[in-house]
Amino acid sequence: MKAAVLREVRTPLQIEDVQIAKPGPHEVLIRTAAAGVCHSDLHFVEGSYPYRLPAVLGHESAGVVEQVGSEVRSVKPGDHVITCLSAFCGHCEYCLTGHMSLCTSPETRRGGEDEPRLSQGGAPVAQFVNLSSFAEQMLVHEHACVAIRKDIPLDRAALIGCGVITGVGAVIHTSHVRPGETVAVIGCGGVGLAAVNGAAIAGAGRIIAIDRVGSKLNLARHFGATDVVDASDGDPVAQVKEMTKGGVHHSFEAIGLKVTAEQAFAMLARGGVANIIGMIPVGVKIELHGADFLGEKRIQGSAMGSNRFPVDMPRLVDFYMTGKLKLDELISRRIKLEQVNEAFEEMKTGELARSVIVFDA
C-alpha cells in the first residue's frame, strides 16, 4: 500500500510502498477513506515531540472495515468506522473507572517479538499513535475504532476522530460546562472551533472566541461564539475580564503555547477552570500567579477530550446529521495523499481550519 513516511524530523514526508500485516485475533484491517491533517502531526514532523522513526503519520481518520480478527465482535467487514488514537484495553484501572482515554495498556499494540503491523523489506515501520492513517489501509486494535451509521460522508466523519472529539469532549467531559456558564476559547483552528461548537451544544450562556485571524473569528461566530476577541488588538485577558465583569467560568487553550496557557488561567473568574488542550512543546514551562489559587482557580490538561469514544463518536455523528455539530465548515481543502506536505506548509500560515486527505474508493 502507499503511505506517507516520516524518515527524519524537519524533512518532508515521503510517499512510499509499505507492507501491512494480516489482522491478529483482536485486530481490524480498515480501508482508509479520509484522514485529516492535524497540527499534532506537524509537532512530530518538526521534532517538538520525539517519536520512533521511520513512521507512518496520521491519526484523524475514517474508513471501511475489510477484515477482522477471529476474536473481534464490535465491528464486521463492510462497517463504516471512525478511528481513535486513544485505544483502550477495557479492564485496567483507567478503563474500569471511566477514563478510557488515559489507558496506556500495551495490550492494544503488538509486542516486540511479534511481526510488526507495518514494515518495509522486513524492517519495522513505526505505527503512529495506534493508527497511522496517512496510508491506504490501517491495521488497528478493535478498541481503536467504532462503527457508525453509513449515511454520513466519511471525509466529515474523519474529523470526529481527533479534532472534534478533542474540542467537544474537553467542554463536555473534561470541564463539565453547564447551561448558562461563560466560556472562552483561545485559538480558532479545528480543535478550538470544535470547543466553541461543544460549548454551544452544552448550553453555555456566553462563548468568547479569541484569535488573531479575522476569518477564523468570523467562522467562530458560525460555530456558536457569542463574542469574539482579536488578540492582536490589545490584551485578550483584559478584554475578556471587561466583557464578563471579572472572568469566565471555563477557558480552553487550543494552540499549545506558553503565553496562551498563562492567559487561559489569567482570564478565569473565581472558581474557574482553565483547560489546556493544545500540545505545549516538551520542556516548556508555564508560570502562574500563586495568589490566584486562593480564589479556587484551577488549571488542567485534557487528553483527547476525556473521551469514551465508542459512545461519544456515534452521538457526535447524530449531532452532525441533525445540524447541531458543524463539520462541513471545518474542511478548508480536500487533497490527495501526495499533497500532504503542502497541507503542512499551509497549516503554518494559520489561515486554514483543516485539510483532509481523501483516498480513492
Q: At what angle do helices 258-266 and 236-244 cross, to 10 degrees?
A: 20
Q: What is the DSSP string of 41-77?
A: HHHHHTTSS---SSEE----EEEEEEEE-TT--S--T
Q: What is the rounded distance in angstroms from the CA atom of residue 102 to the CA atom of residue 86?
A: 7
Q: From the candidates 26, 39, 59, 141, which is the catalytic residue? A: 59
What pLDDT was estimated at residue 69? 97
Other CB atoms within a 10 A radius of the CB of residue 120 amount to 15
What CATH fold (topology level) applies to the domain 2-161+306-358? Quinone Oxidoreductase; Chain A, domain 1 (3.90.180)
Other CB atoms within a 10 A radius of the CB of residue 2 amount to 15
What pLDDT was estimated at residue 353? 64
What pLDDT was estimated at residue 111? 87
Mean pLDDT of all residues in 138-163: 98
| 59 annotated active-site | yes
* C-alpha cell, 83: 478511528
pLDDT at 361 over 50: no
Contact 34/9 with Cβ under 8 angstroms? no
pLDDT in tens, 59-77: 999 999 999 999 999 999 9
Mean pLDDT of all residues in 2-24: 97
* Sign of the torsion angle spanned by Cα atoms 315, 326, 158, 65: positive
Contact 186/236 with Cβ under 8 angstroms? yes
Q: From the candidates 26, 39, 43, 80, which is the catalytic residue? A: 43
Contact 208/248 with Cβ under 8 angstroms? yes
Amino acid found at 155? D
Mean pLDDT of all residues in 13-22: 97
pLDDT at 1 over 60: yes
Mean pLDDT of all residues in 217-228: 97
Q: From the candidates 84, 89, 95, 162, which is the catalytic residue? A: 162
What pLDDT was estimated at residue 116? 96
What CATH fold (topology level) applies to the domain 176-301? Rossmann fold (3.40.50)
pLDDT at 351 over 70: no
Q: Which residues contact 350 (CB under 8 A, 6 or more apart)?
A: 189, 212, 213, 216
| 40 annotated active-site | yes
Strand 268-276 and strand 182-186: the pairing is unpaired
| 61 annotated active-site | no
| 38 annotated active-site | yes
Average pLDDT, the chain: 95
Q: From the candidates 40, 61, 101, 251, which is the catalytic residue? A: 40
331: left (phi over 0), alpha (psi -120 to 50) or beta: beta
Confidence band, pLDDT 50/70/90 cuts, at residue 291 = confident
Q: What is the rounded distance in angstroms from the CA atom of residue 313 to the CA atom of residue 348?
A: 28
What does the domain layout of the chain look like in residue ranges? 2-161+306-358, 176-301
Reported as type and span, the H/E element at residue 37 is strand 27-37
